[in-house]
Every structure is written in C-alpha cells, then in structure tokens.
Amino acid sequence: MKKGTHTKTQRGRWAADNGAKGPREAPLMVACGDKPPLAWARALFVSLREIFPHSARGETRLDVHVNPAQHRAMTAFDDWRARSPFYDETHEALAQSVRRFVAREVAPHIDRWEAEGELPRELHKKAAEAGILGLRYPEQYGGHSKGFDNFHGLVLTEELAAVGAGGLGASLMTHGIGLPPILALGSEELKRRVAPPVLAGDKIIALGITEAGGGSDVANLKTTAVRDGDDYVVNGGKMFITSGMRADWLTCAVRTGGPGAAGISLLLIEMDAPGVERTRLDKMGWRCSDTAAIHFSDVRVPASNLIGPENGGFIGIMRNFNSERLGMAMGCCAYARVALAEAAEWAQQRETFGKPLVGHQSIRIKLADMERQIETTQAWVDLAAWQVKSGKDRPADFAMLKVQATRMLEAVAREAAQVLGGASYITGSKVERIYREVRVNAIGGGSEEIMLDLAGRQLFGGKR
C-alpha cells in the first residue's frame, strides 16, 4: 500500500474540519488540488503551516479559542514522529486535523462530560463528519481505508489522548472493538445493515464479552443462546461493557454449543429488544465513558444476526484482542506524554528554595527517566505495528507489550504526580485524571498476570 494515496473525497473529509464558521469549506483541498499522492501530502502540510500562524519558536496556534490548560501545544511536526522512520507527512496531516477537532469539539466540554458520565451522541456524528470514525474502514461501508495504514490509527489514538481523559477514546471509538468481528466474519447483509450507520455516527455499537463470573477466561463464558425457529433466545449477562448504556447494538459472545471455546458464537443483539436490562456502573476513571452491566432475559435475536458460523465465534474474539492490546499500548504512551508535558511545565514554572523545580537535580532525573520509559515503550509499539503491517506479528508480543505499556504509564503517572505535588491531588489537572485511569489500562483487555502467562505459554510451552 502506498503512503499518502488519498482520494479527493478523503482529502475533502479531512479538510472539512477546518473550523470555519457557517457552511463547511475545504481550503486544504483547494490548496492541494490534484497533485500526486506524496506531492499532495506535502502540499497539505505546507497549507497547514500557512493556515496557522507560527511563533518564533515554531509553535502552531490553534484556530479556536481554547484555554491553554485544555490542550498541548501544536508543533509543525511532533518531535517523536519526526524522528521515526514509520511516520511521514500524511500522518502529520492527520494529526493536525484530529488535533483541531479535539480542540474545537472536545476540549471545551470534556470536564462536563466527565461529570455527566457519558459522551453526547452528537459527538459521534461530528466525529464521523470529520472522518474520524471511518478511518481505516472499507469504503463500501462508509469508511476510508485507501492510503491509510495502522500508523495512522496510532496517530489518531495519540491525538484523542491530548485532553487527558481516557474515556473519550474508549467510548467514542467503541466501534473499534464492536465492529471488526462483523466485518471479518459477518454476512454481507449484516455488514451493510450495521457498518454504514455506525461509521456515520448514527448508531453506537459495543462489545459484550466479559461476564460477572469471569473476565479473561472467555472460553468458559455462561451466557447462552438457544436456537428456537428463526431466532436465538439469549439468557445471561455481561459486565463492565464500555458504551453499554448508549449502545444501539451489542456484538455479544454467547454459548450456543458445548463447553469450552468450541461452543462459543457471536450474535448481534439489538439493545432495545424486550428482555434487555441495563444498569449504569460508576467508576474510578474513564468517567466520560458510560459503562454498564447488561442482563438478558429470554431475549429473542434473529438468526440472521449470527456473526460467522455457529460455534465459530472464539476466533473472532481472539482476533480482536491483538489489535485492542496494541491500541491500549499506544494509548498508554500517549497519556504518559500528556502527564510528562504537564509535569515539565509545572517544573519550569514552580519555584522552590529560590529556583524553579527543574533547577533541582532530583526533578530533572525524574523527568528524564519518564522520557526514557516513554521512548522505549513507543519504540516497541511502533515495532509491533510494523510487524502487523508486514504480517510478522505474534500474539505473545501484544500480551507482553500491553504489560510493558501499562507499567510504564503507572510509573510515569506516579512521578508526574510527585512533581506536581499537592496540585496533582486536586481535580482539574490532567495528571490527576490520568493517575486514576492507570488501573483500567492494567486490567482491561487482559490483566498483567493473564498476559504474562499467555506469553509464557506461547513462547516457552507448558499448560495451565
């Protein structure tokens, strides 16, 4: 796949979020014209620099008024990507576009959404219009994948993390775990019925795997689906379901056969069906992401909503886990960078004993060590993404990478809180919020213990 091969429609989609008042226009598309792919990317990059005034230090100012505390500074090309062989001008163009969307549509409201416990549904529609929801999904279902690689996906994760609220990416992008099993295993009718409204932001889809009696032990899930004529009758429940309160559809793991992995199927359950009950769960972190306990009592689901073959759902679940863990690892790097940036800014401004905090050797050592841990983990994330792109990936790597990333985030968040001192314990700082959200990253998607045991068994043998 060639980098930077975007259609006019895709270019216009990214350009359309330029923040202009009134009808949306596409000045970047006009500026870039019909240039060849790489030339278009470079022209887009130049146009971005022309649209936004720069200071003498090379910083690009946002095109909307946002409290400086709500966003990190925009630069012509973020340093860590500029020095990487995996990112080019197309990745930077995407970063700038998503960054403006976050500054305009998210940053001014994130604290209120955190307090309210969920994202507004209209945010999904706006994200779809900006081209965010459809990134790297097939064009025939309303997405845009041509010219985009998995590094563009990492860039998207990075930019959504800028507000320091993990619930934003978890809930806004919940289709990232709910939709892939349908696209990979579902019938063409099911794909065309579900994918377009989800990618347009009209419908919300979630994933239902975890149960109250078991999380990572997926092969022993208890929710049943019994065939009755043209329907399946579902009984049981799911726990800790992201976007569970707002979801219109649930890609749900059920038992249709005997014990173990060979008896598991995937069903698409319509969440307004009779017999579906939802209970909101309050949480330590990810507060703007609604989380639910879901109970099914004789819920009838059309057999046409079966995703893939009956008793063949386990492979779809496992396939999802690898991409989810890579995404979580990238999120940990992104949030760690946010925490480090806030700590560094505080250290440069806060004075103790007659000099800035950063003037003390112990603080400089903390900041440098935080940077060391972030850079090493990012290198592994990028390597894993390249291995996926090249077909050289293995599940054990994603399991170990997730552990590395979550432990790194825990260490960086702790040290950032130490640098901020009492300010980190007061709501309002990004470090306070990120510190609360460390645990969900370490547990969700597979706990450290399960991940390391999985990697150990795959690499060195042995049975449970």
Dihedral (Cα; 433, 77, 54, 71), 10-degree rounding: -10
Q: CB of 268 within 8 A of CB of 146?
A: no
Q: Among residues 114, 158, 324, 437, which one is catalytic? A: 324
CA distance 92 to 102: 15
Query: Is 116 an annotated catalytic residue?
Result: no
Dihedral (Cα; 260, 262, 268, 271), 10-degree rounding: -10
CA distance 376 to 444: 22
Which residue, 249, 206, 129, 111, is CA-closest to 168? Answer: 111
Can you say how many angstroms the Cα of residue 110 is from the centroid of all Cα atoms in its chain? 16
> Which segments within 271-328 are labelled E, that is strand?
276-280, 291-302, 306-307
Q: CB of 249 within 8 A of CB of 270?
A: yes
280: its two tokens: 């909101």
The contacts of residue 79 (CB under 8 Å, 6+ apart) are: none
CA distance 64 to 21: 11
Dihedral (Cα; 192, 195, 198, 202), 10-degree rounding: -10
Q: CB of 283 within 8 A of CB of 303?
A: no
Q: How many CB atoms lie within 10 A of CB 258?
A: 9
**DSSP per residue, 309-320:** STT--HHHHHHH
Burial class (CB in 10 A: 0-12, 13-18, 19+), 84: middle
**3-state class of 147 per DSSP?**
coil
Query: In this structure, are strands 276-280 and 249-255 parallel, antiparallel, or unpaired?
Result: unpaired
Q: How many CB atoms lie within 10 A of CB 188?
A: 8
Q: At what angle do helices 395-420 and 448-460 cross, to 10 degrees?
A: 150
Query: In this structure, are strands 291-302 and 276-280 parallel, antiparallel, or unpaired?
Result: antiparallel
Q: Tell me which residues are annotated as active site.
A: 324
